[in-house]
Amino acid sequence: MKQNENAILAGKTCIGIEFGSTRIKAVLTGADHKPLAAGVHDWCNQLEDGVWTYSLDAVKSGLQGAFADLMRNVEQQYGVKLTTCSGFGISAMMHGYLAFGSDGRLLAPFRTWRNTMTEQAAGKLTEAFSFNIPQRWSIAHLYQAILNGEAHVGQIRFLTTLAGYVHWLLTGKKVLGIGDASGMFPIDPQTGCYDADMCDAFARLTTDTAFQQKITDILPEIVPVGEIAGSLTAEGAALLDPTGTFGGAIPFCPPEGDAQTGMVATNSITPKTGNVSAGTSIFSMIVLERNLSAVHREIDIVTTPNGDPVAMVHCNNCSSDLDAWVNVFGQVLKAAGADLPKVQLYDTLYALAAQGAADCGGIVSYNYYAGEEITGLTSGKPMLLRAPDAPFSAANLMRSLVYSCMATLKIGNDILTQQEHVQLDHIYAHGGLFKNPLVTQPALAAVLNADVTLMQSAGEGGAWGIALLAAYMVRDHRAESLSDYLNRHVFAGMQGVTVSPSQADLDGLRAYMNAYCAGLAAERAAVSEI
């Protein structure tokens, strides 16, 4: 305790803040990279005029709320104030559209990764680039705005992600790490820069439009991992901590996407390793040994924080429908006089799910709150299907809801393993879906047909991951690679729990997925007709 107290007072700590879909988390780490304290702030996106968005005021107040909570917890736990640190990092949900004019004013509402409104642009860009451009990527949003003839496109002088925006607020620097940048515009792995040929192709596509800027002039500068990407300014410190307690010219590492910080937090940044992050959305990140043989619309090619290519299968929908059902069960219990704490309620229902039939007894759940590009849905309608004679039990229902969180992920990853013959040696999992791994970890092992490990650090998530990148920046990173740094200084000796897929789960999931894929026609009809 005294060592930690002294480290905090001396500023020999690092801080990472990550903006997730439903929670902003700040983590303070010590010299041994272990978390010393954390702060959280809950927030939620809004659907406004058909656009999933967060206001910039909510971004700023959420930043302040999470950091204030961290400062309070530090003082309560250690009896000292948090006044400075040696390294800082910002992470956030990847992709989306934050377009600013020359005066720094936001030109259109923030369009998050959750939107599926750029089908036309994504298709045209994929054809022009011979490279898959998903709907949620920043360049797809930009080109769709151009195709729509939106008045603001000629005024754009800066386009960035949420992590890039917050970093800009705090340091004044318009930069990104290569991983987050790879979800804005394709990266040339040889140069570590935006792909020049694709930049030229985009210029040709936009020749006779209102957008006449050079695309590289409005995208953030890419800063390599381990380099200093700016320092906290006086204005940034005042925004972060209005009390004036915290400050100093603290160096910041390059801001990164949540996918990349998840890879760091699970030590899965080398070929044939990968991780799955599961919360409001779910995605897998598999580090590739070689390029894929074809362009697959279901698979995105992004990078690790080092710039190595990664096959990403991203699904917009994961736990929202499961959470909604858990809330309903909680309301029923409360009405009956049994008001269970949230953790106990989830534990109880997960225990039931573990008892359910491996094929869920013929109950099929669709968790689509938003559109899902992998299955061709432009918007979502949560839906439950079952035959009249299906054994409709709480156990089978809960197991079906768990499967539904991962079903679309399986469709995308089957392309990788069955068509591209990508080997999955080991998968690390993290995120809210695995807070109780009783049924979710074995289910994911069956979905991927691979061993799945939960590390002791799995609950810390991306905020810890970006704090580790800040620590790597502070250390003499040139002496060792990021992979060696993580292996030697962070994860050496760290314990984890590994689960292998069981044959019963594999067989049950196969039957579930057959029914799931057959029923997608009904889901599409529900979206279009209801």
Distance CA 473, CA 308 (A): 19
Q: What is the pLDDT of residue 2?
A: 87
Cβ atoms 23, 9 nearer than 8 A:
no
DSSP conformational letter for 47: E
Which sequence spans correspond to the domains of the chain? 257-317+427-499, 320-411+513-529
Tokens of 25: 């988390």
Distance CA 483, CA 461 (A): 18
Q: What is the pLDDT of residue 457?
A: 61
Assign 321 to helix, strand or coil: helix
Which helix (H) or strand (E) segment holds residue 453: the answer is strand 452-455
Q: What is the pLDDT of residue 430?
A: 84
Going by C-beta distance under 8 Å and a sequence separation of 6 or more, which residues neighbour residue 47?
A: 53
Cβ atoms 138, 183 nearer than 8 A:
yes
Distance CA 279, CA 446 (A): 19
Q: Whole-prediction pTM value?
A: 0.87
User: Could you tell me which of 399, 407, 412, 409 has the C-alpha nearest to residue 440?
Assistant: 399
Q: What is the pLDDT of residue 459?
A: 57
Tokens of 411: 């469709």
User: Could you tell me which of 178, 255, 226 has the C-alpha nearest to residue 476?
Assistant: 226
User: Could you tell me which of 154, 38, 18 has the C-alpha nearest to residue 92?
Assistant: 18
Query: In which residue are the tokens 């005066």 written?
Result: 103
Fill in the amino acid letter for 66. A
Count Cβ atoms within 10 A of the Cβ of residue 381 and give its class: 0-12 exposed, 13-18 middle, 19 or more buried.
Answer: middle
Which superfamily, per CATH, for 257-317+427-499? ATPase, nucleotide binding domain (3.30.420.40)
Tokens of 503: 């044959």
User: Could you tell me which of 253, 259, 118, 274 has the C-alpha nearest to residue 182?
Assistant: 259
Distance CA 169, CA 292 (A): 38
Tokens of 21: 């879909």
Which helix (H) or strand (E) segment holds residue 215: the answer is helix 215-218
Distance CA 218, CA 209 (A): 16
Helices in 280-359 by DSSP H: which ranges? 320-335, 342-355
Q: What is the pLDDT of residue 114?
A: 87
Q: What is the pLDDT of residue 72?
A: 98
DSSP conformational letter for 192: T
| Start-to-end CA span in the chain (Å) | 59
Distance CA 227, CA 277 (A): 26
Query: In which residue are the tokens 């200093």 written?
Result: 228
pLDDT along the chain (530 residues), means of 10: 91 96 95 94 94 97 98 97 98 96 97 92 97 96 98 97 98 98 96 97 96 97 97 98 97 96 90 87 92 93 94 94 96 95 95 97 95 90 95 97 97 95 86 89 95 75 94 83 92 87 97 97 94
